[in-house]
Each structure stands twice: as C-alpha cells, then as structure tokens.
Homo-oligomer: A and B are copies of this chain.
Amino acid sequence: MELFGVLHLDELSHGLANLSMFPYFDMAHYVVSIMALREQPGVLEVSRLSPLACWFSSMLFCFGGAVLSAIMLAEPAVAPLSNSTSVLLASMTWYLVFYCPMDLAYCCAALLPLRLVLSGMKEVTRTWKVLGGVTQAHSKYTDSLLVMIAIGWAKGAGGGLISNFEQLVRGVWKPETNELLKMSYPTKITLIGAVLFALQQTHYLPLQKHHLMLIYTLFTVVNKSRMMLTGSSVSPFAAIESTIYKTLFTGHSPYAALTAEVNKACIDKGATNGTTPTATIKGSKEKGAAGKHTPVSPVKEQSGSLKAKDESKNAETTNCKKKN
C-alpha cells in the first residue's frame, strides 16, 4: 500500500500491532463491560441480593466471547477461568463498580471524558479479539472462510450473542429478543471486522494484517466516540444495509404488501434516526401476531423496559451528580 508509505503510517500500524492489551486495555474492557451490565434494568437489585449471580453475569460480560468460541471449537469452556490474573482483574473491577463505598468508582468512570477514553480503549481490544478468533479458526480449518468468520465474530461479540443465557443467570428471560433478530451496533461492527480479517487471512483482501488492524481500529474508535459525543445511534452502514436488503430480500413475492410496508417503515425510520430494517421487527411482528406466540406483548414489554432503563439511568445520573 503506497498510501501507507506516503502518510508514514507504516510505523504507526506496526506499533499498534505490537501493542500489548494487558493490563490497561483489558482493564478498560472490563470497566466498560461491567458498567454496561450495571446499567441493565434490575441488575442493582440482583447485585445486592445475590453477589454470586452478579459476579457470574459480569464474568460472562467480560469473557463471554472466549466462552462462546471455546464451546464452538470444543475447547474447555472453563479455560478463561484458568487465567487467574485476568479473572482477578475483572473481579476487582466488578467489586469496585458494584460495591465501592460512596459508589465512587462508578461515578468517576461514568464521567463523560473518562468514559470516552475507556470506551475507545475497549474498542481497541475488539480488534485483537476478532483477529485472535480468526487466527485460531484458521489454524484448525485452513480453508473455511465461514468458520473463521463465525469464530472471529463469537470471540469479539460473544457477550452480546449469549445475552439470553447471561440474562437467565440473573433470572431474566426475554426470548423475543436476541442479537440475531435485531443486531446491535457492536455486534454488527464485530461481524464486519470478522469478515474483513477472514478475507485478509485467506488473501482475498490485498492488505497487510497490521494495515487492516490500524484501519479497523481507527474506524471503530472514531465511530464509537462520535456516537457517544453526539448521542446518536445512526449506524454508518444504514444506507448499505438498506440497499442490500431491498435488492436481495424483497422481490415480487406474494408478501409484497407486507414487505412494502416494512420497507416504508424502514425508509421512514432510516431518514429520521438511521434505524436499520431489522429494527422494525417488533412492530411488524405485532401486525402478524396471529402466527406468533409470545407470552407477553413484546412491544408493551419493550417500551416498559426502555422506560425502566431510562428511569434507572436518570437515577444513576442524579445520584452521581449529587455526590460530585
């Protein structure tokens, strides 16, 4: 890549590729993950009433990717526990975020500038995890692009992909939501990363590994910072996704009416807040509710949950502000 030479980025990318994740970046990953857990509705109650369930949930947030990819590759699921230093670090983080006197740890880390830095550092670990997964799969299944993508994705976004079972640990069960039905931004960016690194590994993508690492890391960090600063959730891929969806998955089917409706909803939403097509599944499911059997109304439940989340966030902010 001439461009890298011209811009003197070669050294930077080499430097980045040789960066060690332990301990600072790993630590940032633990802090941001466990804070995300704490901000889930109902978690504070669980943390007071069953510290063990709370600890186990936190570990799944921190090491979910390693556990999921281990299960997929028939390697010991318990292996992440054998790295005592990491588990100790994650457990200390868990303790400080949930039980620190005066709630100091959480309130400090929740301050925007610090949270911005920590989130950026967490995004950097994503590159390493995805690459680790792809490389591991490559060493077992040399030619299988799909396996590489699957393991890279699982390693990078494992916490999200196993969220149904992580919630079960806390006594929460929401079968109507999962990351395959409605992908969140981190899961999506990880999938794209897994595809790119798998293509690089099999030489379909004419880029050197450290160059791709630099580009991908820069993109994830910048995008995450942008989303945090603007408070927007506009996915940078909304337009591409919409195009792919309209090209491949609509067609002139007997369900054209349904599809058109969905499309319309997508375009409407895309124009206003960049929601991707899959985001409308809730509403449309309701319309087609005759063929769908969920114990409670998902829409009602979700709006309830969102409200609760908002309230809990407000409560947090108020608490922190009062003290700061």
> At the interface, yes or no: A42 with Cβ under 8 Å from chain B?
yes
26 sample A-B contacts, Cβ–Cβ < 8 Å, listed by A number: A42-B288, A45-B288, A48-B259, A48-B284, A49-B281, A49-B284, A49-B285, A50-B278, A50-B281, A52-B278, A53-B181, A56-B180, A73-B76, A78-B137, A99-B249, A99-B253, A100-B251, A101-B253, A168-B178, A171-B176, A171-B292, A172-B175, A174-B293, A290-B311, A291-B311, A295-B295
Q: Is the interface of A mostly helix, strand, loop or mixed?
A: helix
Answer yes or no: A231 CB below 8 A from chain B CBs: no
Least CB distance from A91 to B in Å reads: 10
Of B42, B52, B100, B145, the residue contacting A183 (CB under 8 A) is B52
Known A49-B281, A169-B180, A312-B291; contact A74-B76, beta-carbon cutoff 8 A: yes
A11 within 8 A of B: no
A288 to B, closest residue via Cβ: B45
Which residues of A, 171-197, contact B by the 8 Å Cβ criterion?
Answer: 171-178, 180-183
Does B172 contact A294, Cβ atoms closer than 8 Å? yes
On chain B, the residues within 8 Å of A146 by CB distance are 81-82, 84, 87
| Chain A interfacial positions (CB closer than 8 Å to B) | 41-53, 56, 70-78, 81-82, 84, 87, 95, 99-103, 137, 140-141, 143-147, 150-151, 164, 168-178, 180-183, 245, 248-255, 258-259, 262, 277-278, 280-281, 284-285, 288, 290-296, 298, 301, 304-305, 308-309, 311-312, 319, 323
* Smallest Cβ-Cβ distance to A298: which chain B residue: B171
By the criterion CB–CB under 8 Å, are B291 and A45 in contact? yes
Q: Which chain B residues lie closer than 8 Å to A144 at the CB level? A: 81-82, 84
A293 near B301 with CB under 8 A, answer yes
- Taking a contact as CB atoms under 8 Å apart, the answer to whether B293 and A45 are in contact is no
- Known contacts A73-B78, A249-B48, A291-B308: A178-B183 contact under CB 8 Å: no
Q: B81, B252, B319: which contacts A150 (Cβ < 8 A)?
A: B81
- Which B residues touch A319, using CB under 8 A? 254
Select from chain B the residue with minimum beta-carbon distance to A77: B72
